[in-house]
Amino acid sequence: DIVMTQSPDSLAVSLGERATFNCKSSQSVLYRSTNKNSLAWFQQKPGQPPKLLIYWASTRESGVPDRFSGSGSGTDFTLTISSLQAEDVAVYYCQQYYTTPYTFGQGTKLEIK
């Protein structure tokens, strides 16, 4: 199984500042034939289902604010919130869909400093 490891486990950032989440996979999730990384980021707020933010490592889902961006390739990935808003408080998960079993990172909890 591909193990997804996120860092840090929790993050406290001031409003308007940048938040950076890291995700590392135990093996590459890059499809060389398409040059696409099968890596997604989700946001989950209490009492709500997860919401897809980013897929193919850097493609923003429709309706997601442009302050959210994804980057990385192979085994190392980053989600960045360029200017933190109060409504961004949530747990953020990375997920690989390169192969089954699809696996998620353990999550990073984002709080306001």
Partner 1 sequence: EVQLVESGGGLVQPGGSLRLSCEASGFTFSTYAMSWVRRAPGKGLEWVSEISASGGSTYSSDSVKGRFTISRDNSENTLYLQMNSLRAEDTAVYYCAKVGATFDYWGQGTLVTVSS
Of the residues 22, 56, 78, 89, which one makes contact with partner 1 according to CB under 8 A: 56
Cα separations (Å) of 9 from 59, 68, 70, 79, 91?
A: 24, 19, 18, 14, 10
Q: Which stretch binds partner 1 (CB under 8 A): 12-20, 26-34, 74-82, 102-110?
A: 102-110
Does the footprint of partner 1 cover residue 50 (CB under 8 A)?
yes
- DSSP collapsed to 3 states, 77-113: EEEEECCCCHHHCEEEEEEECCCCCCEECCCEEEEEC
Residue 58, token pair as written in the block: 């850097």
Does the footprint of partner 1 cover residue 61 (CB under 8 A)?
yes
Distance of CA 57 to the CA centre of its chain: 8
Of the residues 11, 24, 74, 107, which one makes contact with partner 1 according to CB under 8 A: 107
Does the footprint of partner 1 cover residue 105 (CB under 8 A)?
yes
Name the 3-class secondary structure at 11: strand
Nearer to partner 1, 52 or 89 (CB): 52
Interacting residues toward partner 1 by CB under 8 A: 38, 40, 42, 44, 48-52, 55-56, 59, 61, 93, 95, 97, 100-107
